[in-house]
Amino acid sequence: MRSLRLALYIFAGFWFGALAAFTLFPAARERLLPSINVRSAGQALVGGPFTLIDHTGKRVTDQDFRGKFLLVFFGFTNCPDVCPTALQVMAAALDKLGPNAARITPVLISVDPAHDTPAVLATYVASFHPRLVGLTGSQAEIDAVAKAYRVYVKKVPDPKSTAGYTMDHSSIIYVMGPDGSYRAHFTHATSPDVMAERLSGMLQRPTM
């Protein structure tokens, strides 16, 4: 009887510890729940063609990024916390990859095109990573690419902001393959170590 009770205590302790790690530690959660590669009828449900303007003022399309992996994050330059955190994680993960990072292009797509002009984006992206590409466009173009990537975006009043508003948006970092297909996703809470480890694995198998 005592042995059975001890076994039950050990079992309960194990699951309690796993639940605590899952809840409290994002890195553990990322390892326990691998990114979901959602597909339907052989086609990715995330991503698609787009035409936008990069931070140098050049008109670009999704085809300009073919041949490399993309780390895609939707955010805006007046974002107070989530966006800088996500971009810092992306930059740190790329640094950890060393020379292999050249095979991955980090991208920030602005969800506030009225404010985030190419010039504004140029200054902003330079503070995170030398290869970070900032993309903006017309409101219609941003709406279209956000819809393609299934990103939630909503402009809401914010009296604390100098702009008088802020942008509520999803905080997902997408990994797109060299062929433009969705491969995986992370969040801004993912650790650079976990992101770098998983990206390294993807680089070893660039085709699916």
- Provide the pLDDT confidence category of residue 163 given band limits of 50, 70 and 90: confident
Which residues contact residue 130 at a Cβ distance below 8 angstroms, ignoring those fewer than 6 apart?
none
Question: Do 186 and 99 share a structural domain?
Answer: yes
208 in any annotated domain: no
98 in any annotated domain: yes
Q: What is the mean pLDDT of the chain?
A: 84
pLDDT of 173-205, one tens digit each?
A: 999 999 999 999 999 999 999 999 999 999 988
Which residues contact residue 56 at a Cβ distance below 8 angstroms, ignoring those fewer than 6 apart?
118, 122
Q: Give the tokens for residue 129.
A: 């990573």
**Is the pLDDT assigned to residue 42 strictly greater than 80?**
no
Question: Do 160 and 60 share a structural domain?
Answer: yes
Distance separating alpha carbons of residues 172 and 108, to the nearest angstrom: 11
Q: Give the tokens for residue 205.
A: 């198998």
**Is the pLDDT assigned to residue 21 strictly greater than 50?**
no
Q: What is the pLDDT of residue 160?
A: 87
175 in any annotated domain: yes
**Is the pLDDT assigned to residue 10 strictly greater than 70?**
no
**Domain CATH code at residue 92:** 3.40.30.10
Question: Do 42 and 29 share a structural domain?
Answer: no
Question: Do 127 and 26 share a structural domain?
Answer: no
Q: Give the tokens for residue 126.
A: 């330079």
